[in-house]
Amino acid sequence: MSKTPDSGKAEDDERSTVEQYLVKDPERFALNMARMIEQAGKAASAWAEPREKGDVRDHVAEPVVDMVKTFSKLSEYWLSDPQRALEAQTRLFSGYMTVWANAIQRISADGQDTDDAVKPERGDKRFQDPEWGRNAFFDFLKQAYLVTSRWATELVEHADGLDEHTRHKASFYVKQVSNAISPSNFILTNPELFRETIASNGENLVRGMKMLAEDIAAGKGDLKLRQADYSPFEIGKNLATTPGKVVGRSDVAEILQYDPVTETVLKRPLLICPPWINKFYILDLNPQKSFIRWAVEQGHTVFVISWINPDERHGAKSWEAYIREGLQYGLDMVEKATGERDVNAIGYCVGGTLLAAALALMAQEGDDRIKSATFFTTQVDFTHAGDLKVFVDEEQVAAVEKSMSEKGYLDGTKMATAFNMLRSGDLIWPYVVNNYMRGKDPLPFDLLYWNADSTRMGAANHSFYLRNCYLENNLSQGMMELAGRMISLGDITIPVYNLASKEDHIAPALSVFLGSRYFGGEVEYVMAGSGHIAGVVNPPAAQKYHYWTGGKPTGDFDQWVAKATDHPGSWWPHWQRWIEARDNTRVPARKPGKHMKTLGDAPGTYVRVRV
């Protein structure tokens, strides 16, 4: 019986598809597998050596125990009612049956196309290779995985008996597990990885294991996942390049003053209080993205606090120390450098939370030097805090405190890992696949260089923050004690510009909105597009995103958003108009060092200390 032309072409296509998954050079492949095992051994040694020396002590048990406890509560809800458990199992079984029926239909003689039982969410880049839909085996894996992960997510969403914190943790842990077990993460279940491994006879795995060993060694026994090629970047050379001087240095902070570029400047200087989690140069990443450079161009005399990267010497430095030796010391340096007492201040993220607490304390102490406050993605009320709240309950905070007590600080890699886990689908697994399985170096990217330039957390400072903000929510409730005083945000009567970001997973827009009600003066609430970084670092020239303005931040958040005015582009010019509306007095430009001795060029020395 003769074959039709179409059937012959189909067989050729099938043979071609199969051949790309067959080893062409078994001897070379075997040699590379041996080399891969050798490199894997080096990775294991890099992990084991600091533990054998006692330099690293694992605290992995605490988060694993918390995840098990959380899943146990979830299981208890579904298994406590046989009818409820049966319905859950039936939904999963039904999904699997649909996947199975589709697979049978796909490999049947007629090759009829079928609709997927479940499709990847919009923006999911894991299953873009054509083989995920064309090859019956990989298509089955993809659909079975998506059905299972979607089912697990729904178990959390429909578990009515869980308290809100447990539900939040369960949802977070389900997402982490789902991201980890995706078939896209493994050689044999990812068609693209499979083909690359066969095509290179396993050389990609040799390179990948070599990179893994290097990254564990760089993390001194912990994996320091590289997210970019960091070699092209150097602080002060092509990052943090806005010209200026160091005008002050305390135990916890350097104070930077930037050179003016206008003939006249606003009479009120601007002091920026960035977070000490990561480093200040997110606001001065490069000339095109630099908020600091842009503010200088608008006529601000800009001062920035550059926090110390703490070590064992700073373990006892409290929040009060960060206020006295950082924020108020910065105000002293501003006055010494310019002769001005009246200052505009900006606080970003936890730097904003510190600024809010400091303003409340200063109001009681009669320090009225700050005349307006701007908060970038800052929480002062933590009722609806973001995903970081998953890591905060009494048991977890106690475990962190125990870990910090050994050295006086929390390793920067621990905080970096926590932040990466908030978006593990974007910040962990794509790099695991690219680096350690494909064996490819990541591309240069200044933002990811900054993201990897992590900082340690001083023990006393970090413990105070976790307990008073995330755990007990004392700041908004008037229960935070600083310098022997119970402080109240209601004492802050200066004008406030409160910026949130629409897609922020660290300081959600709702949380920032609700925090506005606790200030005692006028509050301008503005919601920028995008997230915690891109929503803030959005220069006007980029013409990206939107921002929303409206009435007073009171009442229902969703109603405020529905009535808000949508503006295309950056919020930066809107903020500038807000600042000038409070005081637009201009004076001759001030050059750093005119009235005081400087301590070197910006960006200073503290920012260069790496973990």
Mean pLDDT value across the chain: 91
Check residue 1 and give its pLDDT: 43
Pairing of strands 485-486, 523-528: unpaired
Structure-derived torsion over alpha carbons of residues 560, 580, 507, 537, reported in degrees to the nearest 10: 120
pLDDT single digits (tens) 235-293: 999 999 999 999 999 999 999 999 999 999 999 999 999 999 999 999 999 999 999 99
* Most confident option among 62-76, 379-393, 490-504: 490-504
Q: Quick one: average pLDDT of 189-214? A: 94
Q: DSSP 3-state assignment of 271?
A: strand
Q: In the numeric block, which tokens belong to residue 461?
A: 């400072």
Contacts of 101 (CB under 8 A, 6+ apart): none
Among 47-51, 185-189, 250-254, 444-448, the minimum mean pLDDT is found in: 47-51
Does residue 258 contact residue 290 with C-beta atoms inside 8 Å? no
**CA dihedral for 448, 452, 456, 457, sign (positive or negative):** positive
- Residue 342 class from Cβ within 10 Å (0-12 exposed, 13-18 middle, 19+ buried)? middle
Measured N-to-C along each axis, helices 82-106 and 136-157 cross at an angle, to the nearest 10 degrees, of 160
Q: DSSP 3-state assignment of 189?
A: helix
pLDDT at 334 over 70: yes
Does residue 463 contact residue 477 with C-beta atoms inside 8 Å? no
Q: DSSP 3-state assignment of 210?
A: helix
Backbone angles phi, psi at 457, to 5 degrees: -115, 120
Check residue 2 and give its pLDDT: 46
Q: DSSP alpha helices (H): ranges in 366-427?
A: 394-407, 412-422, 424-427
244-386+458-608: CATH class:
alpha beta
Query: Which H/E stretch holds residue 257?
Result: strand 253-258
- Report the residue count for the chain: 611
Q: Quick one: average pLDDT of 379-390? A: 90
Does residue 317 contact residue 461 with C-beta atoms inside 8 Å? yes
Among 43-52, 53-62, 545-554, the minimum mean pLDDT is found in: 53-62
Backbone angles phi, psi at 593, to 5 degrees: 90, -5
Choose the catalytic residue: 43, 193, 212, 349. 349
Cis status of the peptide bond prior to 603, with omega within 30 of 0: yes
- Residue 288 class from Cβ within 10 Å (0-12 exposed, 13-18 middle, 19+ buried)? exposed
Q: State the Cα–Cα distance between residues 564 and 571, nearest whole angstrom.
A: 14
The domain locations on the chain are: 20-219, 244-386+458-608
pTM of the full structure: 0.89
Please report the DSSP string for 173-188 in residue order: HHHHHHHHT-GGGSGG
Q: State the Cα–Cα distance between residues 156 and 170, nearest whole angstrom.
A: 7
Q: Quick one: average pLDDT of 130-157? A: 90
Query: Is 469 labeled as catalytic in the residue annotation?
Result: no
Using a pLDDT cut of 90, give the percent of the chain over it: 69
pLDDT single digits (tens) 20-54: 888 888 899 899 999 999 999 999 998 888 888 88
Instruction: Give the pLDDT band (50/70/90) at residue 392.
Output: confident
